[in-house]
Amino acid sequence: MLDLAGIVDNSTIDYPGKISAVIYLCGCDFRCPFCHNREVVLNDPMVCKKAEVDEIVEEINNNFLIEGVVITGGEPLMQADTVELIIKLKGVKKLKLDTNASFPNVLEKVIGMLDFVAIDVKAPYDKYGLAIGTSNFSEIVKNVQRSMVILKSSDVSKEARTTIVPGINDSEEDMVQMCDIVKSGGFEMYSLQQFRPANTLDPSYGDMKSPSVEIMRKLGQTAKKLLPTIKVRISTIEHGFEDVL
Q: Which residues bind ligand SF4 (CB under 6 A)?
A: 28, 30-32, 35, 37, 41, 73-75, 100, 120
Residue closer to ligand SF4, measured from CB, 5 or 57: 5
Residue closer to ligand SF4, measured from CB, 78 or 175: 78
Classify burial at 92, counting beta carbons within 10 Å of its beta carbon; exposed 0-12, middle 13-18, buried 19 or more: exposed
Answer for the pair 160, 122: CB distance below 8 angstroms, yes or no: no
Residue 23's CB: how many other CB atoms inside 10 A?
Answer: 25
**Least Å from the CB of residue 197 to ligand SF4:** 14
Residue closer to ligand SF4, measured from CB, 74 or 211: 74
Collapsed DSSP state (helix, strand, coil) of residue 10: strand
Cα distance between residue 50 and residue 140, in whole Å: 28
**Least Å from the CB of residue 136 to ligand SF4:** 15
Cα distance between residue 204 and residue 166, in whole Å: 13
**Least Å from the CB of residue 48 to ligand SF4:** 13
Collapsed DSSP state (helix, strand, coil) of residue 165: coil
**Least Å from the CB of residue 202 to ligand SF4:** 10
Where b means 16+ CB within 10 Å and e means fewer, 24-56 reads bbbbbbbebbbbbbebbbbeeeebbeebebeeb
Residue closer to ligand SF4, measured from CB, 21 or 40: 40
Residue closer to ligand SF4, measured from CB, 39 or 217: 39
Residue 224 backbone dihedrals phi, psi, to 5 degrees: -65, -35
Residue closer to ligand SF4, measured from CB, 30 or 205: 30
**Least Å from the CB of residue 84 to ligand SF4:** 21
List helix spans (H) across the chain. Answer: 38-41, 53-61, 82-89, 104-110, 128-132, 138-152, 172-185, 213-226
Answer for the pair 197, 239: CB distance below 8 angstroms, yes or no: no
**Least Å from the CB of residue 168 to ligand SF4:** 12
